[in-house]
Structure 1
Amino acid sequence: MKFVGIVGTNSDSSTNRKLLHYMREHFADKAEIEVCEIKSLPAFNEPKDKTPPPAVKALSDKIESADGIIIATPEYDHSITAALKSVIEWLSYTTRPLINKCVMIVGASHGMLGSSRAQAHLRQILDAPELKARIMPSSEFLLGKSLQAFDEKGNLVYLDKVKELEECFDEFLLFVKLTNQLLATEKFNTEQNKKFSWLKTAEEGALS
């Protein structure tokens, strides 16, 4: 399987980046994970022609062709970063590659909670009509005290968290396999959902 791992911050120093790079190496025998940065992407500005900038289109193409997505989100003020929200807005407003795409959410934070509020918020966002991602249910990987979590080689030193991450990742592999099999045999209006428009909905409501 091929996954895209999105670093959910524009920070140059991020333990969420370290977490994704660790996952890429640790699970190399199970899946190929390409770690993608968002720090160079422009802020969302709602272009009238709904055409994404080249860098956003490149990320969208990678998401489209991947078997699944892993998003590593920090927590800023009880939510995801503005940079990650901006990227999601680009994707939802333009190409909509996350529709019916399997997503695993992980997160690291300097405190004890491991981005739990941000992960809950991200789940709500990804369930929006323009996104409709297939989010792995009943599974959270929360890495607290992340500043001390990695050694100089980038290895995760909390052995209990290594085991927990392995279990979560195996669950995600199964979730992706079963979900993609279902999507391949059943019609879920993916293309129709990509054409969803709040403007159209408002116009239909005015006519009724």
Structure 2
Amino acid sequence: MTATRPLIVGLGGTVRPGSSTERALAFSLRAAEAAGAETRLLGGEFLTRLPVFDPRPGEPDPAQRELADVVRAAQGVIVATPGYHGSMSGIVKNALDTLELTRDDPAPYFQGKPVGVIVTADGWQAAGTTLMAVRSIIHALRGWPTPFGAALNAQLGLFDEAGDCREAKDAWQLSTVAEQVLDFARMKASTP
């Protein structure tokens, strides 16, 4: 990483290819790229390959190692999840649990990293409760949740066929998450 091109990792999606959640995450990563970041997407397809995290000693699976290594290399992270029954999806939570592999690192989990949050849900109540749940987990993982988190109502048909937001307010939310993660990453990089 150079000071001008921080690596921002997008982590999230669902088991369904082309889900609203993964499209929202990809949109946010494009905004980060347009602002000068290098990005990497670990979407639904990747997350479904992760075995259920087992804390017992043993050799991690290659996908688990990849996740840990990518997060270690990142200067910022954006987590995107659907809101299922008032909280995050199982595959996203499993990915966050897998970061236990970094427990003994000098900077474990999300320590020192800004973490943006995107939630898509079939209604505002689920979006709000999920946003709060994810922020609590980011705190537990020693990350810095960005001041703004995007909460999108997936019932409204968020994206067109080109992957652009149908509503300007949704594009603003996703871009704001990316901008805040990138701004925090650059501030951290400039601090000795």
Q: What band does the TM-score fall into relative to the shorter chain?
A: 0.7 to 0.9
Greater relative CO (CA pairs within 8 A, separation 6+) = 2
The alignment status of 1:45 with 2:50, answered yes or no, reads: no
**1:98 paired residue number:** 110
TM-score w.r.t. structure 1 length?
0.76
Alignment of 1:18-33 (within 5 A): 18-30=23-35, 31-33=37-39
Q: Partners of 1:171 and 1:25 in 2: how far apart?
A: 14
TM-score w.r.t. structure 2 length?
0.81
**Aligned-CA RMSD value:** 2.1
Q: Partners of 1:133 and 1:111 in 2: how far apart?
A: 27
Moved over 4 A (4+): none
Secondary structure of 1:85 counterpart = helix
The alignment status of 1:140 with 2:146, answered yes or no, reads: no
Q: Tell me if the contact between 1:113 and 1:142 (Cα under 8 Å) persists in the aligned partners.
A: no
CA 177–111 in structure 1, closer or farther in 2 if over 3 Å, else same: same
The alignment status of 1:34 with 2:40, answered yes or no, reads: yes
**2:70 paired residue number:** 62
Aligned pairs, number: 178
CA 98–48 in structure 1, closer or farther in 2 if over 3 Å, else same: same
Q: Tell me if the contact between 2:20 and 2:154 (Cα under 8 Å) persists in the aligned partners.
A: no
Q: Partners of 1:109 and 1:43 in 2: how far apart?
A: 24
Secondary structure of 1:149 counterpart = coil
Secondary structure of 2:56 counterpart = coil
Q: What 5-or-longer segments of structure 1 have no aligned partner? A: 186-208
Instruction: Tell me which structure has the larger Cα radius of gyration.
Output: 1
Q: What 5-or-longer segments of structure 2 have no aligned partner? A: 1-5, 103-107
